[in-house]
Each structure stands twice: as C-alpha cells, then as structure tokens.
Amino acid sequence: MKRVFIIMMAAVFATLSCNTQKKEPANPFFAEWKTPFGVPPFEEISTEHYMPAIDSGITLARAQVAEITGNADAPTFANTVAKLDRVDELLSRVAYVFYSQTSANTNETMEQLQMEIAPKMSAFSDELLLNTDLFARIKSVWENKDSEQLSDEELFMLENLYKSFVRNGALLVGEDQETLKRINQELSVLTVKFSQNVLAETNKFRLVIDNEADLKGLPGSVVATAAEMAADEGMEGKWLFTTQKPSMIPFLQYAENRDLRKKLYDGYLNRGNNGDEYDNNRILADIVRLRAERAKLLGYNTHADIVLETRMAKRTGNVLNLLNDLLDRALVVAKRERDEMQQIIEAEGGNFRLEPHDWWYYAEKLRKSKYDLDENELRPYFTLDNVRDGAFAVANRLYGITFTPIDKIPLPHPDAQAFEVKEADGSHVGVLYMDFYPRESKRQGAWCGTYRDHQVTDGREITPVVTIVGNFTPPAGDKPALLSMDDVLTLFHEFGHGLQALFSENTYSSTTVAWDIVELPSQIMEHWATQPEVLAMYAKHYETGEVIPPELIEKIRNSSYFNAGFDNVEVMAASLLDMAYYSLEAPAEVDPQQFEDEIMKKIGMIPEIEPRYRSTYFLHIIDGYDAGYYVYTWAAVLDHDAFEAFRENGIFDQATAASFRKNVLEKMGIMEAEQMYLDFRGREPEKEPLLRNRGLN
C-alpha cells in the first residue's frame, strides 16, 4: 500500500498525504497553510518543528485507529478501509516535507533527526500492520466484498490492503511478531545510515588541480565551472572536481591526464568502501541479512519473492530471463566497442590495456571518429532553461497543459523554480517545483517526488504539488547552464514522472503501484527529446539563438547506437547484482566486495566496465528499488513498445496521447499494471522495438 504505510516507503517520495490540525500556532504543521495553492510554507518550517509534529501525528493516528477497531458496527469499506486511508494525514503532511528536505536540502541536524525519526516511524508502521483487531476488520471487509457495491478502484485498493497486511506479518503471532518488529527497527536505522554515508563520501572527495597543464583537453566551459567551484571553496586560482556526475563525467571524457582520470573515477567507485566511519560494507551486509531473515519469517524463500509478488514480473526467473538475455546481447556489442577503443590506444602509441577509467575518454574519441560528433558541439544548444521549456512544449502539444511561472510562492530551496500547471481550459492541475543544481546538502542523481498527492477528500479534489530534483551543471561566469545529451534525457525522464504525478486521478490516498511500470511514464518521455521536430523546438544556441542545424540532428540520429554495449552492460550488471543480493535465502551472510566480484565473474562481466552502481553506494537497492533495479529494463520494453504507437499515428497524435493519459498516467496505482497497458496498447508489449532501438537485435 502507498499511503497508510508511509514508513515503509519514506525514501520513495510519492507516498504521502495532507491534513490540518491546530495545536501550537508556532508550529506550521499544526495550522492551515495559507500559501498559494496550499504549498508548504518552507521558510516558516524549522528542524525543531518536525519531531513534535511527528509525535502528534502518531498520537492522532493511533486514536483514529482505536476508533475504527472500537466500532461496534459490522466492518464495511466505508467505516474501516476508507477511514483507515485518512488516519495518518497529519503524519503524512510532515513526512512529505521532511523526507523531501532530507534528500534535497539536508544538514547535520536533519541527518541526526532522521536517525531518530526512522525507528519511531518503523515502530508505528508495525503497530498498524500487526494490529490484530484492525486486520480482523479488514479481513472481514475483504471476505464480504461482494455484499457491497464497490468501484473498481475500491476493490483494487481493498485487495492490496488485505494482501499488504498479510505480507507484512499480520498472520504472525507471539514471538514472531516481536522478531519482525526488531528486524524492521534495525532496517529503519541501517538504511538511513547507508544513505547518509553515501552523501558524506560524495561530499568528502575532492580532486583539486593547481597545475593548469593538468587541465589539457578539457573544454573551456568545464574549466570555468571547476574554477568557480574552487573559488567558492576558498581556493582561488585552482580547479575543483568532484564525484558529482556533472563534474566527473566531462573530466573523464576529455582530460588527457590518465592518472588524474583514474584518481577521480576511483574516488567515485570507492564511496562507502574506504574502511572509515562512512564505510557501508558491514551496513549492506546487515541489510541483506535482515531482509532475508524477514522473508523467511514471513513465509517466503527470499526478499525478492516478497517484492515481486505485486510486480508485473511476478517471479525471479522472469526477471533473470530478461536481464540475462539483454546482457548476452549487450556484451557482444560492448566487446566490439572495447576492441575499437583499444585500436585507438595502440594507434596513438599507448602501451596499456583499456581500463574502466579510460572508457569515457576513448569512447568520446570513437564517437568523433565514427560519427564526427563531439559532445561539446551539442552543449551550446542545450541551455537548461530551453530544455525545460522544450519538455513543457512537448506536454502542451500532447495534452494541452500549460506551465506558468509563479513568482510569489514559498520555495523548498532558493535554487528552486515554481510553475502552475493548467489544463487547456485554464483549470488548475497542480504545482510543479524544479530544483536543478548540485550542492552538498543534496543527494546524488535526479528524482521526482511530491509534497502532496492527488486525492478526493469529502468530495473536494486535492491537487498535487510535485517536485523534480536534479544535479545538472550550474551556470559558470557569463555562460548559462549547458547540458549534455545525457542530462537532456534525464530532465525529460524526470519530467515524465512529474506528468504522471500531476495527472493522477486516484480518489483515495492509498495506492499500489507495480514498480515494473512506474518507469514507463518517465522513459517514454525520453523518446521525444531527440525527435528532430522536438529538437527544433528547444535546441537553440545560447549565444546566437540559432536552431540546432539539420546536420547535427542527423549526427545525433546516426550515433543513436553509440556506446549501446556499455550503457546496457553496466545497467544489466547492476540489476543482476541487486537480484543476487536479494535472492539469497536466510541465513544470508555476505562480504559485499567478495560477493560483488563473484557475481561479476558469474555473469561474464568484462573488466573494462564496472556495474553502473557498485555495492557500497547502490542507493536504489537500499531505499525503494531493492530487488527492483531491474524495473528500468522491464519498463524499457514497455516504453519502446508504447512509443511505437505514437510513431504509427504521429508523435503528437491527440488520440494516442489522450489514451496514454487516460489508461496509464491517470490510472497508476489504482489498477493492475497489465490491464493498464492492455487498455492503452490493445495487446501485450513486444520486446522487438527495444532490441531494435538499442541496436541489440
């Protein structure tokens, strides 16, 4: 379930709801938010407000649950399930803001608070899920569902609520319940600590260059950004590079100093694996052990079996069949790419074998030699604001919606932007925040979350407040923020998640999303980013205003298969590593470094490529994508097949867009994923478009 059990989903943002409860006027969580569109009053919220609001939220929810279980009337959907859907409204209201801020704008005080809140929230989650009187009422409603006239959404919600209680220990008794509580408590702390360590390690590593000769090969914009970063750290006249990807990747692509490329890449690879206070090896081993132990206690063979029960994949074998098939195909291509790069090394007189830290550098040379395309030719056309507006324009052409900047509205961070989203008729859809630049208080990567989800309360529609967060290269000097092609795809990707959150039509706050399909809305948006018609809409040179020329668009198209082996191999390797950890049966004792090496050998990984995420900084498999990193690949089958429908009818075909919105974007979490896709496509997905578009067929 989505909302009732926010504690289980705290690190996955789209999980929470909203309420007003008056207590102490000084605490913003206890007063009605008289802000534009009811967004959180961020500037009024201080760290000391969170814990009292969390405690009050738990107390209020506990009293409301007692009301439900103490009801002498026979259990019904209305007096049990619908009421349970709203018991944690205040708690959710706080969690919306708290968890979003701990990911995008944290500090030492917030991190300490997170360590205190995590076990408290976990304990309350167990209190709900293991409440025998509450479960008895839910079970009664489930068994007598045919006696009520429930909507399809209500039936789906009821079924998943009942099964979620069972999956989370409702049938356990006595000592087994206490054991489950202990495991959940330990996991709640370990997962927070793992994430905090990754952020600390990311912030700790610094490659400081004081010899200008070591910058040879780097584009001027990259050098300027590094100089500005160094100056901000009080190192005037030097250049600073970090393991944040906007800083690291250009260095790996262009820096001629091989030793420094290795130093930076090793700093990235070894996050959480340095034997210091931020080491994650023991923490990960304990998480894997505890999740396997928990699965056995609940009657499952492995943690993966629990996770996959609500997914489209259903079974581990189905996941492995897809991943291994694509890995085998991708390795053939990756080995060819490796050999081509080795030829470049030898032609230049290099007396060494290609290593992982060399890949980006020689891949860039290969791109230029094969396709006459230099990434730096593209960046001037990809101004961040223009790319953002391009995504807006695509959404407007597809769905008729508009995005209007909001000037006077509370912001989650000074860097953030806010937009009101409206339907074509001018009616309000929701609020969209966008927060693009890296900072030490923000975790790595890019994501989309919510400060408020769509629902209907007492007949009143509650509109969503959505946030898109990234770590893109900031402006430097007189140059605006210029994106790489990968950055462009990332922005469109997260924007796709944002559209799904904005278009949701759920009545209740409790939803159940099959995680295999959750990446479909995001990944399908990436297809539009590189369509010639779309590039002409947003790709304009930041100095001249010139629209990207046809010859560059042609180069982008011709190089669409470029580095496909590498891209697919590193993703499949990470996905298989994830599945390997969570396919272990209890007792599961692992040494992460040894285990990772064994899995890489088993799958035939070539030494020139590392998995996209190594064990000790693999945040996905800690906070929501455990036994689930494969979903990006599963959804890739869906998004390539779904985009074929647009290709067949026109990439801006209104009927196709309306069907995708109605059957997929609006129904996420309130209908079986398989049925959603069938209703849109009229058939089951086919793998061929994915293989063809990735050059793997």
Residues 6 or more apart whose CB falls under 8 angstroms from that of 684 comprise: 674, 677, 678
Cα 78 to Cα 71: distance, rounded to the nearest angstrom: 12
Contact in structure between 309 and 626 (CB atoms under 8 Å): no
Contact in structure between 8 and 92 (CB atoms under 8 Å): no
Question: Coil, strand, or helix at residue 540?
Answer: strand
Q: Which helix (H) or strand (E) covers residue 467, if one does? A: strand 465-469
Q: What is the DSSP letter of 75?
A: P
Instruction: Check the CA dihedral 139-140-145-146 and report its sign.
Output: positive
In whole angstroms, what separates CA 531 from the centre of its chain?
A: 24
Nearest Cα neighbor of 77 from 149, 14, 20 is: 149
Q: In what order do the strands lie in the sheet with 465-469?
A: 402-405, 417-422, 428-435, 465-469, 447-452
Angle of CA points 572, 574, 577, to nearest 5°: 105
Residues 6 or more apart whose CB falls under 8 angstroms from that of 595 comprise: 580, 581, 615
The number of helices, as runs of H, and strands, as runs of E, in the chain is 26, 9
Rounding to the nearest 10 degrees, give the CA dihedral for residues 543, 549, 553, 555: -100
Phi-psi region of 355 (alpha: psi -120 to 50; beta: other; left: phi over 0): beta
Residues in the chain: 697
Nearest Cα neighbor of 623 from 467, 449, 493, 470 is: 449
Please tell me which residue in 494, 526, 570, 610 is annotated as part of the active site. Answer: 494
What angle do helix axes 108-129 and 175-204 make, rounded to 10 degrees? 160
For 262, counting Cβ atoms within 10 Å of its Cβ (0-12 exposed, 13-18 middle, 19+ buried), the class is middle
Nearest Cα neighbor of 130 from 73, 86, 71, 182 is: 182
| 494 among known catalytic residues | yes
What angle do helix axes 520-529 and 485-503 make, rounded to 10 degrees? 130
Q: Which helix (H) or strand (E) covers residue 209, if one does? A: strand 207-209
Cα 436 to Cα 471: distance, rounded to the nearest angstrom: 6
Q: Is the peptide bond before 587 cis (omega within 30 degrees of 0)?
A: yes
- Could you tell me which residues are beta bridge partners of residue 466? 432, 450
One-letter amino acid for residue 270 of the chain: N
- Chain position carrying tokens 């995708």: 660
Q: Which two tokens stand for residue 18?
A: 């909203």
> In Å, what is the CA distance from 648 to each residue of 486, 523, 638, 664, 690?
26, 18, 16, 19, 16
Classify each residue of 176-191 as buried b or exposed e, where b means 16 or more C-beta atoms within 10 Å of its C-beta: ebeebbebbbbbbbbb
Phi-psi region of 352 (alpha: psi -120 to 50; beta: other; left: phi over 0): beta
Other C-beta atoms closer than 10 Å to the C-beta of 296 total 16
Q: Which two tokens stand for residue 185?
A: 């408590």
Q: What is the DSSP letter of 441?
A: T
Task: Just list the catalytic residues.
Answer: 494
